[in-house]
Chain A
Amino acid sequence: MMSRHERDAERTDRYLERLLGSLPVTLADEEPALPLREAARLIQHTLVRSHPSFRFEERLAARLEKEARAPGSTRPDDAAGQLIAFHALAGDQIRSDRPERRARGYLLGGAIASGVSIASIAGVLAWRRARAAAASPVSLRVERPA
């Protein structure tokens, strides 16, 4: 037997599934109280995902690459017998936890991109890449005539 708290929590959970998944509301759906719905909608728009700076992302990518290529790092032979066993599953055994989400806004290294178009995000990224490239000794070497 579920307690009142558990029932309320389950109702909130179903509401969030619809809210975050942009799923339609049906007549059978019981909604949580208005203040809670308002708080959920506000948090949805306030808590945006952040993207680290381009410089940091590339620096860490280079470190991971170096780590991956270092002698003694994991190699196929080391991992022999440890590969994930992918079972031949019947279709109904494989299930996704939730429906596909719509694309979310991003906060790019301090600049908020929430609510702007993909083109704007691409513009910001292109600008960041161009700026980073201009300052990078690697790009200077590339641009120097042979």
Chain B
Amino acid sequence: MFGGGREEASARPIPYDADRPAVEAARRDPGAFDALYRKYVAQVYSFALYETRDQHAAEDLTEQVFLSALRALPKFRERSEDADSTFRVWLFRIARNALANERRRSRRHPQAPLDDALELAALTPDPAEQVASAEIAGRAWAAIAELPDDRRQALVLRFVEEMSTREIAAVMGRSEGAVRVLVHRGLRSVARRLG
């Protein structure tokens, strides 16, 4: 997936990107970017919410990501000399960079609780079940929240965004093997905390 010169790059298979038609349309007419925005707004917002743990910060980050993506769309390449990409991977790279910049700028980690995630049982009909589910969800989230940044991000991208190891590797700029180890260690840490 990574490395190699032009000849090698043209010979290797490229990931199928279901967003190609929408990306092409948005390049021809920026107004058509709305379709990509609607498709990915919840994914980007979720990632931002799990990382910032604050609704307003997540909204700010989401806004920043989509404005940057719209402006930079002409520069988006599915294939370059160092990495292949899909629109989604590219979007999440922007999100990750925006998050890193924001953290550098503020020099702090938001500590607000992710209350929304703890309301998991809100629609469960049985009140006893609601309490039990919320408690388990709370313990699970507490365990995840304590993970080092890279492990937590890998888990969120794997479980919430349902990305493949290959996609996560491209988003995080790591090898697929490194991502597998991050996810495995993240899960093992959560399992220990829950055990």
Interface of A toward B, CB cutoff 8 Å: 5-6, 8-10, 12-13, 16-17, 20, 32-33, 35-36, 38-40, 42-52, 56-57, 60-61, 63-65, 67-69, 73-76, 78-79, 82-84, 86-87, 89, 92-98, 101, 104, 106-107, 110-116, 120
Tell me the complex Cα distance, A93–B84, Å. 14
Question: Known contacts A46-B137, A112-B123: does B162 contact A101 (CB below 8 Å)?
Answer: yes
Tell me the complex Cα distance, A32–B194, Å. 16
For the complex formed, measure the closest distance between the CB of A54 and the CB atoms of chain B, giving whole angstroms.
11
Question: Known contacts A10-B180, A38-B191: does B123 contact A67 (CB below 8 Å)?
Answer: no
B43 touches A20 (CB 8 A): no
For the complex formed, measure the closest distance between the CB of A8 and the CB atoms of chain B, giving whole angstroms.
6
Q: Number of contacts between A and B (CB, 8 Å)?
A: 206
B67 touches A39 (CB 8 A): no
Residue of A17, A32, A111 touching B122 (CB-CB under 8 A): A111
A48 touches B117 (CB 8 A): yes
Q: Which residue of A lies closest to B18 (CB)?
A: A96
For the complex formed, measure the closest distance between the CB of B190 and the CB atoms of chain A, giving whole angstroms.
5
Q: Report the count of interface residues on B (CB-CB < 8 A).
A: 75
Interface of B toward A, CB cutoff 8 Å: 10, 13-16, 20, 23-24, 27-31, 33-34, 37-38, 41-43, 45-46, 49-50, 58-59, 62-63, 66-67, 70-71, 73-78, 116-117, 119-124, 136-137, 140-141, 144, 155-156, 158-162, 164-167, 177, 180-181, 183-185, 187-188, 190-192, 194-195
A75 touches B30 (CB 8 A): yes
Q: Which residue of B lies closest to A12 (CB)?
A: B184
Residue of A52, A75, A98 touching B45 (CB-CB under 8 A): A52
